[in-house]
Amino acid sequence: MADPEENPADLPGCPSAEGNGLLPAELRAWMLLLAATGAVEQRLRAAVKEKLDISHDEFLILCLLAEQPEGGLRMTRVAELLGRPKTRLTYQIACLQHAGLVTRRSVCGDKRGIEVALTDKARGLLTETSGPLAETVTRSLARFMGPDQRAALCGLVPDLAEESRPE
């Protein structure tokens, strides 16, 4: 695991959470989230491809569906939540369906409505791989963010604060 205190010399530093620059707090927080997201996405793309043999965007769809307590989501809602065009989403859902990871069905009473849900196969794969993929996220944040930036991120995303405490 990368040393959390390390900040590679060949990479620009993560935006400061303290506010020594020109930006107001909201923009500093946004820049911090973008830096964290970029660091995680870069590593997670490769890990997802290796472990699940799907694209990062398809993985995001699976994650979104995995967080639904029952059933699935309408495709229009998935597109809204992920900020994806419906045409692109249709292609990604078709790929996931072909891989046996999602099902599509018409919504009762709505001719145009399509609901997407995880299959048991997808639930099993996510259960099996979510731990190692979460570790990829943790390592990515530790590699690209210093302790102050991680503390600020944990303040923005409270669930991270619980998970990132040293044991």
- Residue pair 51/132 in contact (Cβ under 8 Å)? The answer is yes
Confidence of residue 34 (pLDDT cuts 50, 70, 90): confident
Query: Hey, is 3 helix, strand or coil?
Result: coil
Take residue 86 and report the two structure tokens written for it: 């419906």
Confidence of residue 10 (pLDDT cuts 50, 70, 90): very low
Half-sphere exposure of 71 (CA within 13 A, CB side): 9
Residue 32's alpha-carbon distances to 10, 22, 65, 133, in angstroms, are 18, 14, 27, 21
Return all residues near 144 (Cβ < 8 A) that are at least 6 apart: 7, 8, 11, 14, 35, 36, 39
**Interval 154-166 mean pLDDT:** 60
| Distance between CA atoms of residues 57 and 71, nearest Å | 21
Confidence of residue 154 (pLDDT cuts 50, 70, 90): confident
Half-sphere exposure of 111 (CA within 13 A, CB side): 0
Is the confidence at residue 30, as pLDDT, over 90?
no
pLDDT digits 0-9 by tens, 53-103: 999 999 999 999 999 877 799 999 999 999 989 888 999 999 999 999 999
